[in-house]
Structure 1
Amino acid sequence: MTLSPELLSRPLLDHTGLDLEAADRVTYVLEQSLHYGYDQPIELLDHRLVVVPLARHGNQHRRAHRVDVAGASVRRRSRLDGHGNTVVRVRADRVEEGVSFTVVALLERVRADGPTHLSAAALHDPRLLRPTRLTTPDDRLRDLAAGVGGGTPLERAERICALVHDAIHYEYGVTSVETTAAEALSGGRGVCQDSAHVMITLCRLVGVPARYVSGHLLGEGGTHGWMEVVVADGDAAVAVPFDPCNGRRAGADYITVATGRDYSDVAPTSGSYSGTPNSTLTTSRRVGVLSAA
């Protein structure tokens, strides 16, 4: 697959009328742009982007991609972090008015290639079992975890997903990227990131390895966050995705970009610069299905 203008200009299919779970192959396109505008020139821009989908995540394959930067003369470097995510670092000595970052990617889901297999070491990975700043439990979270009950790790995860879905009501604007799981649960309101952090915290409290997932959900206007639990699969392990914000497992209408301990590992855009504090972020996104068979 190539990122030809002809391919990218093709209309998206109505995914709500497709049985994506039953399709042998599904091709997706992702076009995401972020533009930072400044009221005065800035200097020493150092920006971190985690917007390129994983090369492979279970049955999801990245077939082609590119990252474009406009508005300034920049130096950039791509690397894989400790979780296997593509991190693009962009630096510029000076930006006059604004800078834009655009990622374009073609992805393919091959049903026969799933699920997401991991080594058995993932079952004991401290990164997936220890609390982080955003997933440090308080007494209320510990009490909730104590009432989860027994069963297999997957059965406990199913119950936790339903519990979190009932406990956190979706409301935009009442939390931030700095809100902890304890704070979100106390308030009872938040966005997908908050639900994911609460579920991750509870899973880790009951001994189930868990990690944060960033990406896209078809039909939504912005980026999305969910989580995965890691359970044994023979002599290895498998990652099973849950979306507690929507109270269900994640399926073929989800596109994974990156995984980490919590949101801070996989924030799509972050960075620093020297200059005016007045900046604006404008985003746009086009994501959907090009073909399914």
Structure 2
Amino acid sequence: MLLTVRHTTTYVFDTPMRFVAQSHRLTPANNGSQKVRSWSVTSEGATFGAAFTDGAGDRVTTMTAQGPVDRIEILVEGGVETVDTTGVLRDHREIISPVCYLQGTAATTPTGALLELVAKTVEAARGTDLARAHRFNEVVGEAIAYVPGATHAHTTAAEAVELGQGVCQDHAHALIAMAQAAGMPARYVSGYLLAGEAVTESDASHAWAEIRVDGLGWVGFDAANGCCPDARYIRLGSGRDAREAAPIRGVSRGGGSEALDVRVVVAQGQQ
């Protein structure tokens, strides 16, 4: 399947910034489930620095803008050919040990209702690592109803489970917590999803979890949709949580505040 992406991120500063520096994970890496056919990341007036592949096998690029800067628009456009590997991440070149993903973060630490859910589910789960991971995916999907706007960027997995509502970020965080409690390395993945016509422009930007399964390696699980990633998904980057895997991270010098607008359109192209 050929997927096309148009992703626009716009920052508007109420007071012009003197300097802006960002780190981008906006370019997919080739692997067994995806091959980049065309891709560009542009921003008028900005300077793009060296691009490199980090230890997790993700493509990273730096971008800077000298002030005064009152608005930055980053445009991502491209096409990726995808195949369904039933969620298994194949031919992805990385050097970080999976053991690093046994350590949780503030966003994934199980407390309260999440701690109870994790303890009950992990104790009851039986069978192979793959069977247990699928069960964890089901439990998280049942525990957190998909309700856009119910949570925010800094909501923890424990808070989302307590609320019983959330979005894909919350599902991924809770699934990571459950897998790590079972001794299975797990990480957060950001990317894109080709979904139905009812999906909004912000929903096409998606997140899921990858769990390390004996005999298979990294396998993706999307608790928000109750499935493993297939040919509808494009993988961008990974980390221990949403903050580490964010497509854009950066710092700005100057006072005031910023307004952020993100628009993502994913469509099926003609091969």
**Fold in common (TM above 0.5):** yes
Specify which of 258, 266, 270 is matched with residue 287 of structure 1.
266
Specify which of 111, 117, 133 is matched with residue 157 of structure 1.
133
**Which residue of structure 2 aligns with residue 254 of structure 1?**
233
Q: Secondary structure at the match of 1:147?
A: helix
Q: Distance in 1 between matches of 2:69 and 2:142?
A: 47
- Number of paired residues? 261
Q: Distance in 1 between matches of 2:73 and 2:37?
A: 24
**TM value normalised by structure 1:** 0.80
**Which residue of structure 1 aligns with residue 218 of structure 2?**
239
Cα drift, residue 203 of structure 1: 0.8
**Which residue of structure 1 aligns with residue 211 of structure 2?**
229
Q: Distance in 1 between matches of 2:129 and 2:95?
A: 14
**Which residue of structure 2 aligns with residue 178 of structure 1?**
154
Cα drift, residue 112 of structure 1: 8.1
Q: Is the 8 A contact 2:6 2:265 kept in 1?
A: yes
Say whether 1:87 aligns with 2:63.
no
Q: Secondary structure at the match of 1:84?
A: coil
Q: Is the 8 A contact 1:57 1:256 kept in 2?
A: no
Cα drift, residue 244 of structure 1: 0.5
**TM value normalised by structure 2:** 0.86
Cα drift, residue 177 of structure 1: 2.0
Q: Distance in 2 between matches of 1:238 and 1:291?
A: 32
Cα drift, residue 146 of structure 1: 3.0
In 2 relative to 1, CA 248–74 (structure 1 residues): closer, same or farther, beyond 3 Å?
same
Q: Distance in 2 between matches of 1:69 and 1:122?
A: 31
Q: C-alpha deviations, 1:2-56, integer Å up to 9, x for none? A: xxxxxxxxxxxxxxxxxxxxxxxx11211211121223321121122222112x2
Q: Secondary structure at the match of 1:182?
A: helix
Specify which of 1, 7, 11 is matched with residue 36 of structure 1.
11
Q: Distance in 1 between matches of 2:186 and 2:151?
A: 22
Cα drift, residue 68 of structure 1: 0.7
Q: Is the 8 A contact 2:86 2:229 kept in 1?
A: no
Q: Distance in 1 between matches of 2:237 and 2:134?
A: 22
Specify which of 131, 138, 150 is matched with residue 104 of structure 2.
131
Q: Distance in 1 between matches of 2:178 and 2:242?
A: 16
In 2 relative to 1, CA 151–122 (structure 1 residues): closer, same or farther, beyond 3 Å?
farther
Q: C-alpha deviations, 1:102-137, integer Å up to 9, x for none? A: 112221124589842379x99972222121221112
Q: Distance in 2 between matches of 1:63 and 1:188?
A: 40
In 2 relative to 1, CA 201–112 (structure 1 residues): closer, same or farther, beyond 3 Å?
closer
Q: C-alpha deviations, 1:81-103, integer Å up to 9, x for none? A: 22121222211221443121111
Give ranges in structure 1 of 5+ residues lacking alignment: 1-25
Q: Is the 8 A contact 2:5 2:77 kept in 1?
A: yes
**Which residue of structure 2 aligns with residue 194 of structure 1?**
170
Could you tell me which amino acid in structure 2 is paired with residue 247 of structure 1? G
Q: Is the 8 A contact 2:155 2:170 kept in 1?
A: yes
Q: Is the 8 A contact 2:48 2:61 kept in 1?
A: no
**Which residue of structure 2 aligns with residue 69 of structure 1?**
43
**Which residue of structure 2 aligns with residue 60 of structure 1?**
34
Among all aligned residue pairs of Structure 1 and Structure 2, give the percentage whose two residues are the same amino acid: 32
Which protein shows a greater Rg?
Answer: 1
Q: Secondary structure at the match of 2:270?
A: strand
**Which residue of structure 2 aligns with residue 144 of structure 1?**
117
In 2 relative to 1, CA 211–122 (structure 1 residues): closer, same or farther, beyond 3 Å?
farther
Cα drift, residue 198 of structure 1: 0.2
**Which residue of structure 1 aligns with residue 90 of structure 2?**
117
**Which residue of structure 2 aligns with residue 10 of structure 1?**
none
Q: Is the 8 A contact 2:87 2:220 kept in 1?
A: no
Deviates more, 1:72-81 or 1:83-92: 72-81
Q: Secondary structure at the match of 2:172?
A: helix
Q: Is the 8 A contact 2:84 2:231 kept in 1?
A: no
